[in-house]
Chain A
Amino acid sequence: MFKKFKINHYINYFVIAVALIVFAILSFTGGIDNSTTLLLERIAISIILAVSLSLVVGFLGELSLGHAGFMCIGAYIGGKVSALLAQTGIGDGIGNLIISLIVGAVAAAACGVVVGIPALRLRGDYLAIVTLAFGEIVKTLFQNSSDNSFGGLSGLSTPRYNKTTLFIIAFVVVLLTLAVIQNFIRSKHGRAVTAVRDNEIAARATGINVTKYKIMVFALSAAFAGIAGVIYSFSQNKVMYTHFDYNYSIEILVMVVLGGMGSINGSIISATLLTFFDEKLRLWISQDFSKTQLAQFLTTYVIKGDLAVFKDIIYALVLILIVIYNNSPSLKGLREKLNLKKLLSKLFKRKHDPSKVKDDEARWDVVPTKIEMDEVLSTDVVIDDMGDNSADIGERGGNK
């Protein structure tokens, strides 16, 4: 039955399930406080968003800057459904939650199909700007909705789910998301999607229905973003359109990119860590740091704004430094010297085996994104690669 049971494929379920059980027990015995459960809810939402965006960016290789737009649809539609259901006999329990989740997911998936259609004609930056535009359009529509439909400027009031159990449900949804997305990636459909990413023309030539897979991936990714939105609406008393702005889409993208493109586990880890540090850093600055002499000096002489903004500055700096360190061609030597895996293998006297490449892990430097900065970059990188150059010449005589 388990012909190719690989522990690596299932380790993330185990870790999340164990964490869930531990926290659930703690929560029922009163071991964790309110702020921790709120943080756990946020982490679960971030993980769902990051994993679903990773499907588009890491596996389909298209850049999406409108993920928050799908989440917005889920939050508003799901929130509205739950508010309506709460008035009927169903109440605001688990049944309400499940129906809202399904409706929110379907609504977002439908929009995913709509965005997926331009993806057939556009690629790279152009598609990125279309997704960005989509996110803004969605936000504007909800912003200008009438008061008794979606609340308009004052936001949509939604029932707040039971505080102590919502994070458990959220993590169960995380597990479901992982199950669906990981199985999708490892199925023949997922292989087809990565083939489209690596070379669309070659994939088409081998008989892969590119149209179908592109729309499928956009719809699937949007559906889970919608689910994250519904959970968000259950974790709030009010859904505000301002939450789903362009910066939020970027934040999700940052999680995916920092986790490593095409790595689900990387997305999970970075989503967890970023959300965790985001919260902790905010707390640290507002409680501990604000009492220090430096902070007093800054607030009296330099700063007019809130000290909490320091969090954003640190966040931005860390982001820039990590990306430059990870990607700069001139820092390659340093990176190889400080490679964690190599250091570990040296420590344990294991030989490095280059033939062992994990099958669904894409490497940073070879990730084929469709933002083709085309020939210019390729001359920089593969100037002495005769094979590539001759292919280039041959192609000019071809029929393209």
Chain B
Amino acid sequence: MEVLEFILSVIVNGLSQGGIYAMIAIGYTMVYGIAKLLNFAHGDIIMVAAYTIIVTVNTSMPIGVSLPLSILLSIVICVLLGVAIEKVAYKPLRGASPLAVLITAIGVSYLLQSIAQIIFGTAPKMTAKLDLGAFKLFGVPVKFSAIITLVITVLVMVGLTMFVKKSRTGRAMVAVSEDRGAAQLMGINVNKIITITFIIGSALAALAGFCSIIEAPSVTSTFGSMPGIKAFTAAVIGGIGSIPGAMLGGIMLGIVECIANKIPVIAPYTDAIEFSILIIILLVKPTGFLGKKRREKV
């Protein structure tokens, strides 16, 4: 019975945690594939979403109104923020040294964190209204939040895969990530595609923010950095630039984290274990699981 409980809780919690990572990792990987930059500010967009949700939910509105409103509001704010960051910080540097873009991204991340810290202070901001409770499944307590996260993740993944495969814009995205110059010659508006990428990435970050906030409703200014770094490693494990790779990497990481957290001896070392797995996988398969091998120019 204990084994069954263990497996069931690992599956449910690991998948939901992995789903959060996957959603963030998709944002990283899409931006990397299309705009060729590591958007270090991505994790902080999650933080902005989380603050937005908590502030909205903590108003005097009834929860039935404020919760949907907060999700909508967080998506809108994050999308606007993501696009603004792209236009102000990254667009002037298109064609510049990749390291310069990376440093700017780091600067943006720093800026968002400090602004959040100055507005909300260092103490964590919390809410009691988002505790959704739990139910028993075969004797194992399962949080409703985990189920909601799972549903959102599945919807997002199916939707995104359909979007990329079937829609004109989605295929234009694939084209831009394959060869930007050729895509431009074929009449694709590269700037528009990059903006759309940031919109999708930021919206997913907002959803990921919502999912993590119903899991643990407490936000600080560095709320997004650790999930951000971990999602980034998930994207790299799956092969950066590949959307299915990000999903795979995220879910793998979530399950590993869940298993490690369940075993008391190694639980404090969870982070170290996750990062060691990253290093080992990269050493064995340097482009990640589903990443494309790049030709080396002589």
Contacts and interface: CB of A to CB of B under 8 A. Distances in A.
A320 B108 contact: yes
Contacts of B179: 375-376, 379
B92 A201 contact: no
B89 A320 contact: yes
Nearest to B116: A305
A121 interface: yes
Contacts of B294: 372, 374
B222 to A, nearest CB: 9
B69 interface: no
Contacts of B298: 201-202, 395, 398, 400
Contacts, number: 186
B278 interface: yes
Contacts of B159: none
Contact of B295 (A144, A329, A376, A400): A400
B297 interface: yes
B264 to A, nearest CB: 13
B282 A132 contact: no
Contacts of A15: none
A309 B118 contact: yes
Nearest to A115: B279
A323 B111 contact: no
Contact of B104 (A324, A331, A364, A380): A324
Contact of B297 (A121, A320, A328, A392): A392
Contact of B282 (A118, A140, A375, A380): A118
Q: Is the interface of A mostly helix, strand, loop or mixed?
A: helix
A326 interface: yes
Contact of A121 (B37, B89, B98, B286): B286
Most chain-B Cβ atoms within 10 A of its Cβ — which of A202, A320, A323? A323
Q: Is the interface of B mostly helix, strand, loop or mixed?
A: helix
Given A126-B236, A304-B119, A118 B36 contact: no
A317 B38 CA distance: 19
B124 interface: no
A136 B118 contact: no
Interface stretch (B199-207, B250-258, B265-273): B265-273
Given A312-B110, A319-B107, A371-B98, A305 B279 contact: no
Given A125-B32, A253-B106, 12 more contacts: A126-B240, A137-B272, A257-B103, A306-B118, A309-B114, A313-B115, A320-B107, A323-B104, A369-B99, A377-B95, A377-B98, A400-B295
Interface of B: 32, 36-38, 89, 92-100, 102-104, 106-108, 110-111, 113-115, 117-122, 179-181, 225, 229, 232-233, 236, 240, 268-269, 271-272, 275-276, 278-279, 282-283, 286-287, 294-298
30 contacts: A118-B282, A122-B283, A126-B286, A132-B229, A133-B276, A136-B275, A137-B275, A201-B296, A246-B225, A254-B106, A257-B99, A302-B119, A304-B118, A304-B119, A304-B120, A305-B121, A306-B117, A319-B110, A320-B104, A323-B104, A323-B107, A324-B89, A329-B96, A365-B96, A365-B97, A375-B179, A376-B36, A376-B180, A392-B297, A395-B298
Interface of A: 57, 63, 118, 121-122, 125-126, 129-130, 132-134, 136-137, 140-141, 143-144, 201-202, 246-247, 250, 253-254, 257, 261, 302-307, 309-310, 312-313, 315-317, 319-320, 323-324, 326-331, 364-365, 367, 369, 371-377, 379-381, 383, 392, 395, 398, 400
